[in-house]
Amino acid sequence: MALAHLRLRTVSSLFKETQNRWIFAVARANQSSSSSSQHDHPRILITGGLGQLGTGLASMLRDKYGRDNVILSDIIRPTKAVKEAGPYLFADILDFKCLQEMVVNYRIDWLVHFSALLSAVGEQNVPLAIRVNIEGLHNVMELAKQYRLRLFVPSTIGAFGPESPRNPTPNLCIQRPKTIYGVSKVHGELLGEYYNQRFGLDFRCLRFPGVISSDTSPGGGTTDYAVQIFHDALKTGKFQCYLKPDTRLPMMYISDALRSLCEFMALPPEDLKQRTYNVTAMSFTPEEIVQSVRRHVPDLQVSYAPDSRQQIAESWPEVFDDSEARAEWNWAPQYDIDGMVDLMIERCRNQLK
Ligand code: AKB
């Protein structure tokens, strides 16, 4: 009886071992076939897709990886143009199940998490900023861990504070931001790096400066005066700036920002020395952008009425040091202030026609 029992146990453990080996082999095979397809044509989900960066990024990624491989999502009703450009789905980042369903049903490989309240608007509604920027991030982080997704979360110059060196601000230094936006972004950087070390999550993060684009209306940031100036200059010939004329901040034209993201996401994981990098293109003050815009609108009238955003701007980097991104994965911007202004004027003029 004892011998029979022993034999039975041996057979059953042998069976289990063989079964485990088989499961392991199938899992490995799936993993390697999915990682090569992930590499060639990853299926990408973008959250907060109707904010400043989403539609531009979707169009860049669709050119590279195929129209139907890039799914834009948000809680906002899309325009006809957005619907026609490629897949668009409703997704609330506070609803874990809804996100999980999308990742499973669309066999997502990469997740680009744009949903966030920006600096100025976050200060108006701190509880909402905590929900969207922190709880939403927890959802995507956990999802990316469970389904082994490559996860991109943008950070910002707003992740630094007055105690950080401000000119230039290096990749690694003290970070004591004074806005809920900045606090949530430092939290995201640290949690992502922790999940990377602890669970092997392929977390990637770029700290962006103020991004300038004509695609969307300014969305509640401190750097948005540098977008508003184009609309006001062309529509009314007048511009009132909520920052002082000599407030210097780092900035970037949108196509540089999106290109940096695409290049960074395409890097094989073994080529990444770090998970979080500063990227930038230029630094200017309101006075300097006014001079550049006056090359196109010579009679532009400007006044200054600093408000609560001045204090936020004064706690942020003046010049951003992105030398590590340049050295480690060849990051190089294309647009300087005049190149960016020329393009913005042309695009905003076309929109007014
Ligand atoms: C903001 O001003 O809040 C954003 C940013 C610099 O992250 N544009």
pLDDT band at 34 (very low <50, low <70, confident <90, very high): very low
SS (H, E, C) 178-216: CCHHHHHHHHHHHHHHHHHHHHCCEEEEEEECEEECCCC
DSSP letter (8 states) at residue 109: -
Interval 285-301: pLDDT, tens: 999 999 999 999 999 99
Of 34-38, 72-76, 82-86, 192-196, which gets the smallest average pLDDT? 34-38
**Number of alpha carbons in the 13 Å side-chain half-sphere of residue 178:** 14
Report whether pLDDT(6) > 60. no
Residues near 126 by Cβ (< 8 Å), separated by ≥ 6? 180
Of the residues 181, 195, 277, 335, which is catalytic?
181
pTM of the prediction? Answer: 0.90
Instruction: Give the pLDDT of residue 37.
Output: 57
325 contacts 260 by C-beta, under 8 angstroms: yes
Q: What is the DSSP string of 36-48?
A: HHHHHS--EEEES
Answer yes or no: is the C-beta of 119 below 6 A from any ligand 1 atom.
yes
pLDDT of residue 1 exceeding 50, the answer is no
- Give catalytic status of residue 88 as yes or no: no
**pLDDT tier at 39, thresholds 50, 70, 90:** low
Say how many CA atoms lie within 13 Å of 105 toward its Cβ: 8
Mean per-residue pLDDT for 248-262?
Answer: 98
21 pLDDT more than 90? no
DSSP assignment letter at 316: S
What angle, rounded to 10 degrees, do the helices at 136-146 and 180-199 form? 10
CA distance 67 to 36: 19
Q: Which letter does DSSP use for residue 320 in this model? A: B
Read off the pLDDT of residues 123-157 as tens digits, 9 standing for 90 and up. 999 999 999 999 999 999 999 999 999 999 999 99
**With helix as H, strand as E and coil as C, how does 134-188 read?**
HHHHHHHHHHHHHCCCEEECCEEHHHCCCCCCCCCECCCCCCCCCCHHHHHHHHH
Q: Who wins on pLDDT, 51 or 18?
A: 51
Q: What is the pLDDT of residue 40?
A: 80
* Pairwise CA distance, residues 151 & 161, whole Å: 26
- Among the listed residues 76, 75, 72, 79, the one whose alpha carbon sits nearest the alpha carbon of residue 93: 75
Mean pLDDT of the chain: 91
Residue nearest to atom 6 of ligand 1 (CA): 210
- pLDDT at residue number 215: 85
Which of 169, 185, 211, 249 has the most ligand 1 atoms within 8 A of CB, as the residue to mutate? Answer: 211
Residue 252, CA distances (Å) to 256, 257, 282 in order:
7, 6, 6
Q: What CA–CA distance (Å, rounded) separates 14 from 171?
A: 53
Ligand 1 geometric centre to CA of 232 (Å)? 20
Q: How many CB atoms lie within 10 A of CB 331?
A: 22
Residue 11: predicted pLDDT: 43
In DSSP terms, 89 is beta-bridged to 73
Look at the block and give the residue holding tokens 């001079």: 291
Across 270-288, average pLDDT = 98
Q: What is the pLDDT of residue 218?
A: 83
**Measured in angstroms, how far is the CA atom of residue 214 from the centroid of ligand 1?**
16
